[in-house]
Structure 1
Amino acid sequence: MNIKMIGLGAMAISMVAGSALAAGNTGTSALDDPAKMQPFYTDSSMKTMVSSDDFVKAWKALTPEDQMAMMTA
């Protein structure tokens, strides 16, 4: 009985903590922010990526905090 309760408790904690950590401070991933992701795409539907040169320019235009948030996500 105790092993069953420990297992259920561990599973519940991991589910709650995992979703809380994935959300970050703002509730969404840095990759979900259209304002940050738009420079990496050629169209508004964000289906076609820009060329590699433009990609590098867009990456370097981000703040170090935004770059770290994107790499973490």
Structure 2
Amino acid sequence: MITLLDTFLRTLETTLPVFVMVFLGIGLRRIGWIDQPFINTASALVFKATLPTLVFLSIIRADLDATLNPPLLGFYL
């Protein structure tokens, strides 16, 4: 049986790296180690290159036999 603590730890395991990166970026910006041009370049890299690659790789690795259920697709059409 899954306990509340297990659910909390799973959620924390998933979200903690995101919050660490956000606060690390805020801290580095405040102490002046990164500037606005770097932020613009990094954002462009993430949104134009790495994120589409991640989506593409997730789609190719997906189990389409389990996902593409013809009766279910027919129901939605």
Normalised to the residue count of structure 2, the TM-score between the two structures is: 0.36
Normalised to the residue count of structure 1, the TM-score between the two structures is: 0.38
Q: Which has the higher helix share?
A: 2
Q: Which has the higher contact order (CA 8 A, sep 6+)?
A: 1
